[in-house]
Amino acid sequence: MKFGSSYHLKYLIKTPKLLHSFYKDAVWVVPNANNEVFLTFDDGPVESVTDEVLSILKSKGVKATFFVVGDNVAKNPELFARVKAEGHEVGNHTYNHLKGWKTDRQTYLENIQKCADLVGSHLFRPPYGKIKKSQLREVAKAYKVIMWDVLSGDFDTSNSAQNVINNVLKNTKSGSIIVMHDNEKSADLMLAALPQIIDGLMEKGFSFGEL
C-alpha cells in the first residue's frame, strides 16, 4: 500500500471509526465549526529535538499539545518549562512509556500518577495507543484521554519526509488530532516534515486549536 493513503502495512494512518466506537471513553476527533485541527507531539521532552520543535512552532505562530514522558521531564526540566512558558498544552504519557496491554492495572495507574506528580495535566494519552478497556475506564475518571485521528508515520525509519507530509495533508479533516513524535528516533523525519505540514494545513484553511 502507498503512504498517504488511509493505511500502511505496519500501522493505520487514519484511525477507523470502529476503534472510535470501541474506545468510547477516549477522544479521537474534536468536531468544531472553526476548521480547527489539533497538532500533538508524543514522547518528549528531548534535548535537541523538542527545542527545535518549539522554535518551528514559534516561527509559525502555532500552538500544540505535548504528551510528555515523566522520565524525560525529570531529565529535562528546563525544556519542559519552556514548553509551558511558550503557551503549549502538556499531557501525561506515563512515566516510563508503558504499553498498557502488557502492564497490570495497578502498575499502569501508579506510573501515570508518577508522571502526574511532575506534569499536573488533566490530559492523558496511552503510549502506542495500547490500553486495556478496564484501564481506560479507570483513567477516564480523572483524565481527558486523547487518542488521534491522523498518525504521521514520522517514527517509521523506512519512511521519507515527503511521505510524512502526505500522510498528514491527505488525511486531515476539520477536528482531526494529528500525532507526531519529538523523540530521537523520529527527529530527522519529523523536523524535516513539520514546517511543510504546518504550511500545507494553513493553505488548506485549517487553524490550530487547543485540546
pLDDT in tens, the chain (211 residues): 333 445 444 688 999 888 888 899 999 999 999 999 999 999 999 999 999 999 999 999 999 999 999 999 999 999 999 999 999 999 999 999 999 999 999 999 999 999 999 999 999 999 999 999 999 999 999 999 999 999 999 999 999 999 999 999 999 999 999 999 999 999 999 999 999 999 999 999 999 999 9
pLDDT at 6: 52
Helix (H) or strand (E) holding 193: helix 187-203
Q: 181 catalytic, yes or no?
A: yes
Task: Specify if 157 maps to a domain.
Answer: yes
pTM score, two decimals?
0.94
Task: Specify if 115 maps to a domain.
Answer: yes
| Catalytic, out of 88, 93, 97, 181 | 181
For the domain that residue 192 is a member of, what is the CATH number?
3.20.20.370
Task: Specify if 134 maps to a domain.
Answer: yes
Task: Specify if 133 maps to a domain.
Answer: yes
Neighbours of 178 (CB within 10 A): 22
Quote the CA–CA distance of 102 and 104 in Å, as a whole number. Answer: 7
| Catalytic, out of 8, 42, 43, 149 | 42
Structural domain containing residue 89 = 31-208
Judge contact between 143 and 123, C-beta under 8 A: yes
Longest dimension (CA), the chain: 46
For 27-158, where are the alpha helices, taking DSSP H only?
50-60, 70-75, 77-85, 105-119, 133-139
Task: Specify if 4 maps to a domain.
Answer: no
Q: What are phi and psi of 93, to 5 degrees?
A: -125, 30
Task: Specify if 23 maps to a domain.
Answer: no
Q: 42 catalytic, yes or no?
A: yes
Quote the CA–CA distance of 70 and 78 in Å, as a whole number. Answer: 13
Task: Specify if 97 maps to a domain.
Answer: yes
Q: Which of 27, 24, 11, 32 is nearest to 159 (CA)?
A: 11
Neighbours of 22 (CB within 10 A): 10
pLDDT at 100: 94
Q: How many domains does the chain have?
A: 1
Task: Specify if 12 maps to a domain.
Answer: no
